[in-house]
Amino acid sequence: MIDKRHKTLGEFIIENQSSFQYTSGELSKLINALRLGAKVVSHEVNKAGLIDILGAAGETNIQGEHQQKLDVFANEKFIQTLKNREIVCGIASEEEEDFISINSNDEQHQNKYVVLIDPLDGSSNIDVNVSVGTIFSIYRRVTPIGTPVQLEDFLQPGRNQVAAGYIVYGTSTILVYTTGDGVNGFTLNPALGTFYLSHPNLEYPEDGKIYSVNEGNYVHFLQGVKDYIKYCQEEEGNRPYTSRYIGSLVSDFHRNMIKGGIYMYPKSSINENGKLRLLYECNPMAFIAEQANGVATGGRTRIMDIEPTELHQRVPFFCGSKNMVDKLKEFLVKYH
Ligand code: P6P
């Protein structure tokens, strides 16, 4: 009997295929494509420290190979692995201005899914050896199967997602995903190239003592956000809270989901819609947060109820432990 703690991602997918609301094998193909991409990118990201030996992006390395920027590399690898699986009819990526249409040549593979991806979020942190990540969001297409994918297949509200997840390339590489039946985390054993179930049934603690926001933007925030930050810093009850901000969404999100906390990227006088992208950052993280008994809001609207209007649109993003987000909302509603 395999110890549950050592279940592989492949075994987990097979065991849980029945709870995935679509035909058998489709989830496996989708997650397997992302799993392969994660392993390839993890290997490359972990080499980044050797960049002065291997040659910086845009130069040729000691083997005379052209060194790609890692976010360009990650984008190409995920697109390639998804295309090869004959289940995806379209891909939207932070690295691509427009969506990519994938037409199946094989009548029987009428590709039903679209994937939206941030192939390497936080890539500016690579040069200083800070964790970065990949974020993905999966929908069923809404236009007729067998026809070219359309923009409306991508501009779906987050509540329509069939799966979402992220990969953190940190002290270890961990893949966390949901298909609407809870959240589970899998850690890569690089020696074997196998992901093992390391974080079953991830859930936010209802309360937390960590707040994550770029306080360098404090002067630009709306009054309600300013007042909430001051609330976090007051000496009262279990406060002051701890301020933790890595500057990499996947890492800040992952820590707060495990320990309890709130992540904020508000709109401000310099970012009128905030910074984070709705379709391939906020929606997938919101799906995971809600599946982990957390909350994700734009301030007045549940993130997953926002009706998208464009592929790369930005929205304000507040996400974390339920009681902390509820308290934030009390401050926001006072002013806005
Ligand atoms: P700032 C990385 O660029 C990112 O998209 C998120 O991963 C991160 O949380 C945020 O932006 C950091 O932005 O403006 O605080 O540097």
Q: Distance from the CA of 290 to the center of ligand 1, in angstroms?
A: 21
Confidence bin at 256 (pLDDT 50/70/90): very high
Where helices occur in 19-69 by DSSP H, the ranges are: 26-47, 51-54
pLDDT score, position 71: 86
Residue 223 sits in a domain whose CATH number is: 3.40.190.80
Cα-to-centroid distance, 248 and ligand 1 (Å): 6
Angle among Cα 239, 200, 86 to the nearest 5 degrees reads 120
Q: Which of 130, 245, 249 most suits a substitution to test ligand 1, by most atoms within 8 Å of the C-beta? A: 249
Is there a single domain that holds both residue 35 and residue 172? yes
Q: How far is CA 228 from the centre of its chain?
A: 25
Binding-site residues, ligand 1, Cβ < 6 A? 121-122, 124, 214, 247-249, 252, 275-276
Contact 252, 130 (CB under 8 A): no
| CA distances (Å), origin 290, targets 73, 201, 284 | 31, 13, 10
Percent of the chain with pLDDT over 70: 89
> 249 CA to middle of ligand 1, Å?
6
Atom 12, ligand 1: residue with shortest CA distance:
247
Helix (H, G, I), strand (E, B) or coil at 167: strand
Cis peptide before 240 (omega within 30 of 0): yes
Interval between CA 247 and ligand 1 midpoint (Å): 5
- Please report whether residue 1 resides in a domain: no
| Structural domains counted in the chain | 2
Cβ–Cβ under 8 Å, residues 135 and 250: yes
- Higher pLDDT pick, 21 / 119: 119
My answer on whether 239 and 107 are in the same domain is no
Q: Whose CA is nearest to atom 1 of ligand 1?
A: 247
β-bridge mates for residue 169, sequence order:
132, 173
Token look-up 């392969």 returns 36
pLDDT in tens, 60-94: 554 455 556 888 899 999 999 999 887 899 999 99
* pTM for the predicted model, two decimal places: 0.93
Tokens of 125: 């942190």
Q: Is residue 2 part of a domain?
A: no
- Using CA atoms, how far residue 188 sits from 81, 157, 159, in Å, is 18, 31, 29
Do the beta carbons of residue 113 and residue 89 sit within 8 Å? yes
The pLDDT tens digits for 128-173 are 888 999 999 999 999 998 889 999 999 999 999 999 999 999 999 9
Report angle CA 282, 46, 97 to the nearest 5 degrees.
Answer: 40
* Alpha carbons 335 and 327: distance in angstroms, whole number: 14
Residue 1 confidence (pLDDT): 45
Residue to substitute in 125, 275, 285 for testing ligand 1 pocket (most ligand atoms within 8 angstroms of CB): 275
The residue-averaged pLDDT of 240-252 equals 97
- Backbone φ, ψ for residue 8 (5° rounding): -85, 165
Domain end call among 199, 229, 256: 199
User: Is pLDDT of 105 > 90?
Assistant: no
d(CA 193, CA 91): 26
Rounded distance from Cα 1 to ligand 1 centre (Å) = 43
Residues 170, 237 within the same domain: no
d(CA 83, CA 86): 6
Range of the structural domain that residue 193 is part of: 9-199
From 71, 168, 265, 267, the mutation candidate for ligand 1 (largest count of ligand atoms within 8 A of CB) is: 265
What number is the average pLDDT over the span 300-317?
97
